[in-house]
Amino acid sequence: MLSWSAETTGREVNIDAVADPTVDPGVPGGRFLTALARAGSGTNAGPMHVTALAREIGGAAAVDAAAVTAAFESFNRVVDGTGLPVGRAGRQQQASVIERLRLDRFPHADHV
């Protein structure tokens, strides 16, 4: 979805930022967005991440970014809990992203 949105709308996004916290994705508030998302998946999340992001992109947008993070806490569990396959076509389509981010080391990478 990230590559698709960036390519279709002509925006440059460095997808390495998804896997590497030292990389700036190149979108407004980028480093703060990735920090918020990483905090969301852990157990130490607190308001400091969303407050820092709010200084960069505004309070309402920061709250919405927290909402997206929360939504994917659900999505991830839904797909991993039901064994939803990516499919061969999806895997082929995303081959370069899988290789670049080394996603094939993830536990469900072989489930197509």
Query: Under rule CB under 8 A, which residues in 2-31 are in contact with another protein?
Result: 2, 4-6, 8-9, 11, 13, 15, 17-19, 25, 27-30
Task: Check binding of 89 to another protein (CB under 8 A).
Answer: no
Task: Check binding of 99 to another protein (CB under 8 A).
Answer: no
Compute the Cα dihedral for 38, 41, 46, 47 and give only its sign: positive
Cβ-based neighbours of 104, under 8 Å, separated by 6 or more = 98
**Whole-number minimum distance, CB 59 to another protein, in Å?**
2
Cβ-based neighbours of 50, under 8 Å, separated by 6 or more = 36, 62, 63, 65, 66
Q: Mask 45-84, x = binds another protein (CB under 8 A)?
A: xxx-xxx--x--xxxxxxxxxxxxxxxxxxxxxxxxxxxx
Task: Check binding of 95 to another protein (CB under 8 A).
Answer: no
